Structures are given as C-alpha cells and as structure tokens.
Amino acid sequence: MKVSVKNFAVTMELKNKGIEFDVCDNSGNHLGDLVVTKAKLIWCKGKTTSVKGIEIKWDDFKSYMESRQHI
C-alpha cells in the first residue's frame, strides 16, 4: 500500500479542512483518499469527493479500533 500526503500546507494542529492522504495499491493504482480533520476521518473511495465520503468521528473511530484490539 502506498500512502502519500496530497497537500502539506497545514500547521501542526489540524484545522477544519484537515489533511488529505492519497492511498494507492502497490502497483500505483489510486484506491481513494483519506481526509483527517480535527473532528473526523473521511474515506473517499476512488474519485469520490469528501462531501460524498464515508465519515467517522474520532470517538467512534477510537472505540472501533479498541474493540478490535482482542481480535
């Protein structure tokens, strides 16, 4: 998996727009984008915009990840 920053024009603390990561498979095929903001994470599969992406709030993401800790 190849993950790269699409736009690095951010301060150390994430603001409302956040930061966007470009996610590709090992062959360089674009899989989607991950937008990380101070309020949530947004997965944008393929060429989907963040408005149409799948959102998860940080608290829900934290709970989900901690529930998988014992798998």
- Residue 12 — pLDDT band, cuts 50, 70, 90? low
Domain range spanning residue 37? 2-67
- Residue 8 — pLDDT band, cuts 50, 70, 90? low
Highest mean pLDDT among 1-5, 10-14, 21-25, 67-71: 21-25
15: left (phi over 0), alpha (psi -120 to 50) or beta: beta
User: How does pLDDT run across 18-65, given as a tens digit for each residue?
Assistant: 888 899 999 999 999 999 988 999 999 998 888 899 999 999 999 999
- Rounded to whole angstroms, the Cα distance separating 71 from 44 reads 26
Half-sphere exposure of 21 (CA within 13 A, CB side): 13
Radius of gyration of the chain, Cα coordinates, nearest whole angstrom: 13
- Its pTM stands at 0.78
Cα distances (angstroms) measured from residue 17 to each of 12, 21, 49, 67? 13, 13, 13, 28
Number of independent structural domains in the chain = 1
